[in-house]
């Protein structure tokens, strides 16, 4: 039996910024997870009515577009409202 690890594990809060240099400060871990969930829900919902969407190419592209373009669109709207 090995002794317990004395170093604390790096646990991040869902409300902390992601910490990546190219991410805006308002993008938290919780919001990022929410974007992935919203991407999955919209993909399944849209795929129920348009079956051509349900394939191995459009599915990952749908996820990437949501996770990359949604924060970019939000950031553009936030900048537009600032003087």
Are 33 and 47 spatial neighbours (Cβ–Cβ below 8 Å)? no
pLDDT bin (cut points 50, 70, 90) of residue 13 is: low
Strand partners, 28: 17
Q: Please state the domain extents for the chain.
A: 29-81
Q: What pLDDT is attached to residue 41?
A: 93
- Put simply, whether the predicted model's pTM sits higher than 0.75 gets the answer no
Count of residues making up the chain: 83
Share of the chain above pLDDT 70, in %: 70
Q: Which residue has the higher pLDDT, 54 or 11?
A: 54
Q: Look at residue 57 and give its three-state secondary structure.
A: coil
Q: Which of 14, 25, 17 is nearest to 75 (CA)?
A: 25
Tell me how far apart the alpha carbons of residues 64 and 9 are, in angstroms, rounded to a whole number: 30
């Amino acid at each position: 039996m090995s002794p317990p690890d004395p170093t604390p594990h790096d646990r991040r809060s869902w409300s902390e910024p992601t910490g990546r240099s190219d991410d805006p400060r308002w993008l938290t871990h919780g919001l990022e997870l929410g974007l992935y969930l919203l991407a999955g829900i919209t993909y399944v919902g849209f795929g129920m009515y348009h079956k051509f969407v349900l394939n191995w190419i459009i599915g990952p592209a749908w996820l990437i577009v949501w996770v990359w373009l949604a924060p970019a669109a939000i950031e553009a709207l936030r900048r537009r409202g600032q003087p």
